[in-house]
């Protein structure tokens, strides 16, 4: 059952509608400048833009700010519960004061708002809107430009994160399309905002007047440190889209564009801990369709939220940047998710999922050392040894999924392996069969591009491999590991001598055999095999019984004693055939595969 939390915004009290929640201690959120407040400010506006700012727009701005803060103020669980289990999903009751509560409580607005938030976050949202008794002056959120940049004539509004994909979108719109564009950025910290500005300044400098100057608007939305308890931020996409949509309406536009590669938009789960909303759905086709429906209801006109890069791989996007003559500016963009770890010497950690994706793609796209300098990554992606179980699982999942996608020969096999794709089909086009084939082809192309890049690195570093060896828990080491029954280890044609024993617990789906060290145990297509396979995906991590039963029995309702009996049978079968491991049940209602 989802954990319940009450969020009281703007000095409100729990309403009669929330009477059943009165026993829960509330979290209070207030918009302001204090160290415990939610901070909101729109920079670089022009006075003409505010003429179109209505009470509905201001309400949406404040609602987005409160939801952004609430999403981070309530924990899902720490690393001890990395798989999150039942604690991942939260049930939130928010009391939010607005200028027109009847408008926001109307089913035509409230329902699509709840739907899009639930799909994005996997949380259940209960929203109650009450009358804002003393509305703050909207000017308190606004900061006007000091230069003479004109906001008239803007043709498109797009979201600009300062990463490679959004930079590719800016190149497409401004440099290639010669269009005047409003770039809307969310600035959660100065460590994010400053690099965003530097990318735009570098772009303007290289354009040199050959294309319209982009109109950059940054929205500072953050909160006091005491509210920063949860880092996943699954509702951030709603906040980001709402800010851009408000800017679009201020400019008289009825469309915003997210530029994100299709592989990230469909966002296949790399491992079981990334199912559902645990894999970010920022630009998922269903998310963008939900935004379009919601903003159409809020603004009272047809409003579109689209992703022009849906059918492009990130490699293709980066190649497009390079072909347009802006390859060297890629070095100014920032992709790293670990904001607080950035330094002037190392703008990227090199180990987070976004750094992994970026570095592999820039290699696949053929960027040179001055276009994506290896030195700006604190860790060498290829040879860095991952010791943290969470990070190691992420890297292993990345490599395994790339190989697995490439091995799937048909759209049907692809959809069978990744049924989550079905959620996107009806939102990505009119013909589901054609869309399914297009999604399959997109992922096949991406897998081929990454495997080609890995093969190139393996060939370039062949001497290092022979002389020094490659850590088996590095990305390149994982890529070179021999698949059971597949002969010598290769990375798409680059042959490397693999280890003679299994350095990590491995469950072979082809033979239903568990391997570790020099031992093996053939389990057959049984619940015992499915259980050890599930535990193998997160070695060293305690998984709660609810999550294990859901995954191993594939949604069937079973009792805890059924799981306990399966664990007992598995231990008995492994005893004497595989040494150096144990299935640890020392934590109540949790099991973990431990290596000794």
Domain ranges in the chain are 503-596
Q: Considering only CA atoms, which of 65, 119, 59, 70 is closest in space to residue 92?
A: 70
What CA–CA distance (Å, rounded) separates 248 from 326? Answer: 27
| Residue 138: DSSP 8-state | G
Residue 501: its pLDDT value, please? 56
DSSP string for 84-103: -GGGSSEEEEEEEEES-HHH
Match 């040494």 to its residue by tokens. Answer: 579
What CA–CA distance (Å, rounded) separates 160 from 166? Answer: 5
Residue 24: its pLDDT value, please? 93
User: What does DSSP say about strands 304-306 and 215-223: parallel, antiparallel, or unpaired?
Assistant: unpaired
**How many beta carbons lie within 10 A of that of residue 591, not counting itself?**
24
Residue 497: its pLDDT value, please? 37
Helix residue ranges per DSSP H, 157-235: 164-170, 190-207
Residue 305: its pLDDT value, please? 97
What does each C-alpha distance from 188 to 14, 222, 225, 352 come to in angstroms?
Answer: 29, 5, 12, 19
CATH of domain 503-596: 1.10.10.10
pLDDT average per 10 residues of sequence, the chain (596 residues): 84 90 92 84 84 90 92 70 56 94 97 94 92 86 78 93 96 95 88 89 94 91 72 81 94 96 85 45 92 97 96 96 96 86 81 89 95 91 75 78 89 88 83 90 95 86 60 75 41 42 78 83 85 88 85 80 89 83 87 88
Residue 341: its pLDDT value, please? 67
∠ CA 151-156-158 to the nearest 5 degrees? 105
Residue 206: its pLDDT value, please? 95
Q: Considering only CA atoms, which of 203, 221, 116, 210 is closest in space to residue 166?
A: 203
Cβ contact 56:249 at 8 Å: no
Q: Considering only CA atoms, which of 163, 427, 170 is closest in space to residue 310?
A: 427
Match 């060293």 to its residue by tokens. Answer: 540
pTM for the model stands at 0.78
Radius of gyration of the chain (CA): 25
List for the chain the helix, strand, coil content (%; round to 5): 45, 15, 35
365 Cα distance to chain centroid: 22
Burial 473-512 (b: 16+ CB within 10 A, else e): bbbbbbbbbbeeeeeebbbbebebebeeebebbbbbeeeb
Q: Considering only CA atoms, which of 26, 35, 34, 31 is closest in space to residue 8?
A: 26
Residue 137: its pLDDT value, please? 80
| Residue 348: DSSP 8-state | B
Match 């669980």 to its residue by tokens. Answer: 77
**How many beta carbons lie within 10 A of that of residue 262, not counting itself?**
26
Half-sphere exposure in the Cβ direction for 37 (13 Å, CA):
12
Residue 79: its pLDDT value, please? 46
Residue 466: its pLDDT value, please? 53
């Amino acid at each position: 059952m989802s954990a319940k939390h009450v969020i009281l915004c703007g000095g409100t009290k729990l309403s009669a509608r929330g009477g059943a929640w009165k026993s829960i201690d509330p979290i209070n959120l207030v918009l302001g400048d204090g160290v415990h407040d939610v901070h909101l400010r729109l920079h670089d506006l022009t006075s003409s833009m505010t003429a179109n700012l209505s009470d509905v727009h201001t309400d949406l701005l404040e609602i987005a700010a409160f939801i952004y803060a609430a999403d981070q103020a309530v924990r899902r669980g720490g690393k001890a519960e990395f798989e999150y289990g039942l604690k991942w999903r939260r049930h939130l009751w928010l009391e939010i004061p607005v200028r027109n509560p009847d408008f926001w409580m109307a089913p035509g607005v409230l329902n699509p708002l709840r739907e899009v938030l639930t799909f994005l976050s996997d949380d259940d949202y209960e929203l109650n809107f009450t009358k804002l008794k003393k509305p703050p002056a909207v000017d308190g959120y606004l900061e006007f430009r000091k230069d003479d940049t004109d906001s008239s004539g803007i043709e498109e509004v797009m979201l600009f994160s300062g990463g490679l994909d959004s930079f590719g979108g800016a190149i497409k719109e401004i440099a290639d399309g010669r269009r005047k564009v409003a770039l809307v950025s969310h600035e959660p910290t100065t460590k994010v905002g400053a690099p965003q500005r530097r990318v735009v300044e570098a772009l303007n400098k290289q354009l040199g007047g050959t294309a319209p100057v982009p109109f950059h608007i940054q929205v500072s939305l953050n909160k006091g440190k005491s509210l920063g308890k949860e880092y996943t931020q699954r509702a951030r996409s709603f906040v980001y889209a709402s800010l851009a949509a408000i800017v679009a309406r201020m400019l008289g536009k009825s469309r915003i564009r997210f530029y994100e590669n299709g592989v990230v938009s469909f966002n296949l789960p790399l491992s079981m801990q990334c199912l559902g909303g645990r894999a970010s759905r920022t630009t998922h086709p269903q998310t963008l369709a939900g935004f379009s429906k919601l903003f159409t209801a809020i603004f009272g006109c047809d409003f579109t939220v689209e992703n022009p890069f849906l059918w492009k791989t990130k490699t293709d996007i980066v190649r497009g940047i390079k072909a347009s003559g802006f390859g060297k500016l890629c070095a100014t963009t920032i992709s790293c998710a670990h904001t607080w770890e950035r330094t002037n010497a190392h703008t990227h950690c090199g180990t987070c999922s976004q750094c992994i994706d970026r570095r592999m793609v820039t290699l696949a796209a053929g960027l040179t050392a001055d276009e994506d300098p290896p030195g700006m990554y604190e860790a060498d992606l290829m040879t860095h040894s991952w010791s943290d179980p969470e990070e190691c699982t992420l890297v292993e999942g990345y490599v395994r999924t790339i190989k697995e996608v490439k091995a799937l020969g048909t759209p049907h096999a692809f959809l069978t392996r990744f049924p989550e794709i079905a959620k996107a089909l009806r939102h990505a086009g009119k013909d589901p069969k054609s869309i399914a084939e297009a999604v399959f082809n997109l992922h096949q192309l991406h897998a081929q591009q990454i495997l080609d890049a890995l093969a190139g690195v393996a060939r370039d570093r062949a001497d290092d491999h022979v002389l020094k060896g490659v850590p088996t828990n590095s990305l390149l080491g994982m890529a070179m590991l021999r698949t059971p029954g597949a002969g010598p280890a290769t990375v798409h044609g680059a042959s490397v001598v693999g280890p003679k024993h299994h350095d990590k617990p491995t469950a072979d789906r082809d033979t239903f055999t568990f391997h570790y060290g020099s031992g093996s145990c053939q389990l057959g297509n049984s619940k015992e095999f499915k259980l050890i396979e599930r535990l193998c995906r997160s070695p060293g991590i305690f998984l709660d019984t609810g999550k294990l039963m859901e995954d191993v029995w594939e949604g069937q309702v079973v009792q805890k004693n059924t799981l306990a009996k399966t664990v007992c049978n598995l231990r008995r079968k492994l005893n004497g055939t595989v040494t150096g491991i144990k299935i640890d049940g020392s934590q109540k209602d949790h099991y973990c595969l431990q290596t000794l």
